[in-house]
Amino acid sequence: MSDKPQTLGSAITETILSEPVDSLVSEYAEIGIDAILSEGILKEIPFVHSLIAVTKIGITISDRLLINKLIKFLSAIQDVPSRERQEMVSRLELDPVFGRKVGEHILELLVRVEGKQKPKMLAQAFTAYAKNRIDVRALLRLNHAIEQLPNSELASVRPFYNRSPEEPFEFDTYTGQSLATAGLAEINAGFGGISFMKTELCRVFLELNLDV
């Protein structure tokens, strides 16, 4: 359906703003997605209800993976009070730099990211924006970094940033290029070869503890 992303995106926004989300997230953490789906409890979450309505064929494996990612995202953002979540959505959707619907953006990110940790990392970035710790440009850049950085290179970010300028780059070229693609490193090509310099985004990434 052509309106599927818009429908599901709107449902994600509604889910983020929904008051019952906190208790449902806690219940999910205790008994797991299969039990909740079989009992129909998870259908109370607006996103899941819309997903079932749009697909009309039940919950597939890919849908379950997406729901798992959404639950992890919600688990990490539920400490932000409902009022602040509402203000976050309003500010973002009025900001010309953001230029998109919040729910659709989050849906696109959750579909694309891999691994168990990245939905939480995305939520941490949105929480930092909601708490006015970062601006909208930093949020978008962090979202890009989270999406692009391979899970296997996540543990390399802090050692890379903490090394002194005099220290040689002890990681392989793939690590450096991965960090550069994510915007966490800058490639400096000179007569001595290629070197990788840490960026301001890398500092913010670690200040928000997105690597843990």
- pLDDT tens digits, 21-45: 555 555 555 545 555 555 555 556 6
Stretch 196-202: mean pLDDT: 94
Model pTM above 0.75? yes
Beta strands (DSSP E) in the chain are: 185-190, 193-198
Mean pLDDT of 45-69: 65
pLDDT at 113: 95
Q: How much is the pLDDT for 204?
A: 98
Which phi and psi (to 5°) does residue 188 adopt? -120, 110
Measured between alpha carbons, how far is 163 from 73 in angstroms, rounded to an integer? 31
- The string of pLDDT tens digits covering residues 102-159 is 999 998 999 999 988 999 999 999 999 999 999 999 999 999 999 999 999 999 999 9
Of 71 and 207, which is predicted with more confidence?
Answer: 207
**C-alpha gyration radius of the chain:** 19
DSSP state of 180: H
The residue ranking higher by pLDDT, 2 or 111, is 111
Please state, as a whole number, how many other Cβ atoms lie within 10 Å of the Cβ of residue 64: 13
**What residue segments make up the domains of the chain, in order of their start?**
4-148, 151-207
How far, in Å, CA of 87 to CA of 83, rounded?
6
| The CATH number of domain 151-207, selected from 1.10.10, 1.10.1760, 1.25.40, 3.30.1490 | 1.10.10
Q: What pLDDT does residue 139 have?
A: 98
184, pLDDT greater than 70: yes
Q: Which tops the pLDDT comparison, 154 or 20?
A: 154
